[in-house]
Amino acid sequence: MQQSSEEFKPTMDLKDSLEILKWQIEMGVDEIIGEEQTNHLQTTVMATKPISLELEKETTSKREPSKSLIPENAPQSKVVNKAKALEDAEKLVSEVSTRQELKEALEAFQHCSFRNTAKNLVFSDGNPQAWLMVLGEAPGRDEDIMGKPFVGVSGKLLDKIFSEVGLARTNTQPQDSIYISNSINWRPPGNRTPTTQEIEMFRPFIWKHIELIKPKILMLTGNIACTAILNKAGITKLRGTWEKIDYMDVMPTVHPAFLLRNPIFKQHIWQDILAIKKKLIDLERDENA
């Protein structure tokens, strides 16, 4: 429909707007997450920020370095109280004795701002009796929509690799199945990398999750999972080396999304999966001895 110049007074040249829109689509923008960008931790400071479009990365894309929404000069104690977040997380998990209760505790945890932009809590998938638990990083777009971990491109690759050695989340035998969760259970906006502080506030939930599943083997995919569990990063050096934590054998390995960008690491993840499979066979033999 034609509009008269009185009715429609663009503040920007239409051609420029179209060029910008075209560029945004090429860059992968496919979703607007809100009319206004809101830092729910400090609404007053952010109230004047301009409209933001969330740049969606495909599931395999590299996570962006964290860009804090918090202005540098903001008083830290007012922005987020790390000790209080941890205290509340610990209090919530102290009352948990089932996976359902853990899920409810995560839903009740108010300190992580990701919950404000995420669609769904992404809790877990697979067999809770599995001897092998896989801990990923954080949900991406597909996981956020489905409410399940590792259902996007990198998840499909992971399933394919596991299927080569007879492991699957749908298997019923504990020694042949997998239980999967993430270090962070809400999708970070724009797939950005969570900060150390954000990783830390989920630790009590992760450890409770591990305690409830009691896996014999814990596989850590990527640096965020290594930071959460081992308190260290540098996955290309950490991968392939067993660590022992209490009763669990822990194996760090490269994240499947990293693998998709760096296929040269295929042989490394393959070695790690074979080492895990061998350990499962040894454990089964020991159980039957």
Residue 106 structure tokens: 């995560």
Segment near ligand URA (CB under 6 A); pick from 35-43, 82-90, 132-140, 228-236: 132-140
CB closer to ligand URA, 38 vs 181: 181
In whole angstroms, give the CA distance from residue 17 to residue 33: 20
Binding mask 208-247 for ligand URA (x = CB under 6 A): ----------------------------------------
Q: Does 126 participate in binding ligand URA (rule CB under 6 A)? A: no
Question: How is 205-231 classified by DSSP, letter by letter?
Answer: HHHHHHHHH--SEEEEESHHHHHHHHS
Work out how close the CB of 54 gets to ligand URA at its nearest, in angstroms, rounded to a whole number: 17
In whole angstroms, give the CA distance from residue 140 to residue 152: 8
Binding mask 139-168 for ligand URA (x = CB under 6 A): xx--x-----xx-x-xx-------------
Residue 229, φ and ψ in degrees, nearest 5: -100, -45
Give the Å distances, CA to CA, from 36 to 46, 57, 104: 9, 20, 29
In whole angstroms, give the CA distance from residue 185 to residue 115: 9
In whole angstroms, give the CA distance from residue 7 to residue 24: 27
Choosing from 89, 132, 136, 162, the residue that interacts with ligand URA (CB under 6 A) is 136
Work out how close the CB of 264 gets to ligand URA at its nearest, in angstroms, rounded to a whole number: 20
Choosing from 109, 121, 124, 137, the residue that interacts with ligand URA (CB under 6 A) is 137
In whole angstroms, give the CA distance from residue 237 to residue 45: 41
Interface positions with ligand URA (CB under 6 A): 136-140, 143, 149-150, 152, 154-155, 182, 257
